[in-house]
Amino acid sequence: MQTTILTIDDEEMIRELLVTALSREGYRCFQAGGAEEARGILNAYRVDLVLLDIMMPGNSGVDVLKEIKSLSSDTVVIMVSAISDTETAMRCIHLGADDYILKPFDIERVLLTIRNSLEKQRLRIENREYQANLERKVEEQTGQVRMAMEELHQTYDHTLTALVRALDAREKETGSHSERVMNYTMLLAEMMGIGEPELGVMARGALLHDIGKIGISDNILLKPARLDEAEWIEMRRHPRLGYDILSGIRFLKGPAEMVYAHHERYDGTGYPNRVAGNAIPLGSRIFALVDTLDAMTSDRPYRRALPFEAVTEEVKRCSGTQFDPDIVRVFLAIPRSRWEEAGKYRFSDS
List active site positions.
213
**Which DSSP state fits 272?**
S
Among residues 232, 282, 238, the alpha carbon closest in space to that of 257 is found at 282
Residue 287 contacts residue 239 (beta carbons within 8 Å):
no
Q: Which residues are CB-contacts of 289 (< 8 A; sequence separation ≥ 6)? A: 188, 315, 323, 327, 328, 331
SS3 7: strand
- Give the amino acid at 2: Q
CA distance 263 to 240: 11
Helical H segments across 248-281, by residue range: 253-260
309 strand-pairing partners: none
CA atoms within 13 A on the CB side of 292: 23
**Long-range contacts of 39-43, Cβ-Cβ distance < 8 Å, separation of 24 or more:** 39/67, 41/6, 42/6, 42/67, 42/68, 42/71, 43/71
Residue 202 contacts residue 289 (beta carbons within 8 Å):
no
SS3 19: helix
What DSSP string describes 43-110? HHS--SEEEEES--SSS-HHHHHHHHHHH-TTSEEEEEESS--HHHHHHHHHTT--EEEESS--HHHH
CA angle, 232 then 235 then 240, to 5°: 130
Q: Which helix (H) or strand (E) holds 293?
A: helix 282-296
